[in-house]
Structure 1
Amino acid sequence: MSFVDMAYLRKENIRQGVISYYRKKTGQKIEVTVTPPLQRIIDSFSGESGNSPYLFPVIRDTDKSPRLQYENGLRLQNKRLKRLSALAGIGGKLSTHVSRHSWATTGKKQNLPLWVISEGLGHSSEKMTYTYLASFDRSTLDRANEQIALALAAPPSV
């Protein structure tokens, strides 16, 4: 889930164990079953979201611009992730968007069908998902190419 969609998620978006919302970017309807780990995450923020209509404590003040609160929340979260990345000695940039990349890449490595990854990301087309994934980890394709090259270079078996 993108950070913007998470920030704007309302408590009313959860019905009978399913989160249902429309993506801010594409307007596509997304439905996600609330798994026990996800429920624990939601519960962990219940004290901070209090009487707010929002599920998570990003947009807190109904008298202030929700958009500004979202943007400030995004900056703060990315700053925290940058600090966490440095403390953990992780090379490269860590951001809220990286989680979407990681989810998609993991799905690809698990040989999930492209349409499943596309739907999970809320993309408007599989073509967009293919383009999105094409720029990531090519190690599986590299290994396949190595295996094929070795097979072609090996002497024929008798």
Structure 2
Amino acid sequence: MKVLFVCLANTCRSPMAEAVFKHLILKNHLTNWKTDSAGLRDWNVGLRAQGRAQELLQQHGLKSEHITRVITVDDFYYFDFIFGMDESNITELQLIAEKLEPPAPCQIQYLGSYLNREEDKIIKDPYFSQGMASFHTAYLQIRESCERFVEQYRPEA
């Protein structure tokens, strides 16, 4: 299983999701599962995750070593699932995928769709918020979504 998390600039939500998912892979001994994250814009390429995202991960015993990058065409063929965080992410991912020949086999989905609560389907971008409250909200949505995804797709022991 190969999973890619995507947000606008690969600096907050997607690196947090990648860190959470890496933790779940280790915790559940899913040795053949892989994960990464990417952005739709190149604003932060080569940088680490945003400071508040790293701080929040650290509060939960996690960390991100991720260096930001932009999604590539190859990602659509390599990953089984590509998760966007909001409507604009999903729309842009679908527009890219529609142009690919041959069609890419990946599934493009909202990460928040695994919460089965319409009000939590969108994981809002916390970047422009003041303080940490929006980062906490995004983290909780990401963590629960990732946990539910793993529960649904992990092989039975």
Could you state the TM-score of these two structures normalised by the residue count of structure 1? 0.28
Could you state the TM-score of these two structures normalised by the residue count of structure 2? 0.28
CA radius of gyration, larger in:
1
Say which structure is richer in helix: 1
Say which structure is richer in strand: 2
Kindly indicate whether structure 1 or structure 2 has the higher relative contact order, using CA contacts under 8 Å at least 6 residues apart.
2
